[in-house]
Amino acid sequence: MPKIAVAQLCSTPDKIHNYACAEHYVAEAAKAGARLIALPENWAYIGPEEAKQGAAEPQDGPSFALLSQLARRHRIWILGGTVLRRSGSVEEGRPTNHCTVWDDQGVCRAAYDKIHLFDAAIPGGAVFQESARIQPGIQPVIVDTPVGCLGLSVCYDLRFAWLYRAMAHAGATLFAVPSAFTRRTGPLHWEPLLRARAIENLAYVLAPGQVGEHCEGRRSYGHSMVVEPFGAVVARVVDEPGLCLAEVDPERLNRLRAQLPVQDHDRFESCLGVKRT
């Protein structure tokens, strides 16, 4: 059975440091026999909010180039977490939170821009306004990989179950959720939501996260994991940077979907016209 790897990082404003950490875990995953490794959201840069636009890169920028080089060098597929991507000059507007998938020849096979942006006032915590500095994506994306058909999502997307059901209907057997979940919401929401997305769709969930203190006022929860299709957590990294590995069992996934064909029973269109009395 093919292996997958999930990396947990503590990224900072120092891109060179972040690059070294990513390279280390990609090499470790390849050495362990993983066919695909998933990096977390904002793996290349986490810094002050006002510096985000300046940290954004074009599609041929150094962070994307490194992902291509690492995939080719180590002969491994890489889910490249996210990198802030701009389409033109720094002055042309908000970048996207851009997730890429690279094959083992270093070719970008898929790209997804985070659709749901985190605008929230956390009780007892910070106020986030992601939409002030990031523009949302508009298109769900799935991609065929050596470990199955992978559906792409990012962090706050996790709270919108329709996205995952749509990707499952389109053929996804795994979901990637690169994230930087907050320390406030993580203990109560992170694992239950990941397990729910796996159970609802009978799919594997790869959830690479950020952990620890990145810069003043910014901390992430960690607890990166892999969830199997019936909802059990089969691999986990807890409170520090690290790597976890798990096997993907396509035969078991297909058997579960045959035994409990929830996608065939889905009547989403019937639920759109809600009657209020």
- Alpha carbons 235 and 238: distance in angstroms, whole number: 10
Task: Based on the residue annotation, tell me whether 155 is a catalytic residue of this protein.
Answer: yes
The one catalytic residue in 114, 130, 228, 244 is 114
Residue 3 and residue 15 in contact, taking contact as beta carbons nearer than 8 Å:
no
| CA triple 45-114-273, angle to 5 deg | 155
The one catalytic residue in 10, 99, 155, 244 is 155
Nearest of 201, 192, 193, 195 to residue 172 by alpha carbon: 201
- Alpha carbons 102 and 110: distance in angstroms, whole number: 7
Q: For residue 122, give the amino acid letter.
A: I
Task: Based on the residue annotation, tell me whether 31 is a catalytic residue of this protein.
Answer: no
**Residues ≥6 apart with Cβ < 8 Å to 233:** 191, 195, 225, 226, 227
Structure-token pair, residue 56: 């954004």
- Alpha carbons 101 and 266: distance in angstroms, whole number: 29
Task: Based on the residue annotation, tell me whether 52 is a catalytic residue of this protein.
Answer: no
Give the SS3 label for residue 136: coil
The one catalytic residue in 41, 57, 130, 228 is 41
Give the SS3 label for residue 242: strand
Query: Active-site positions?
Result: 41, 114, 155
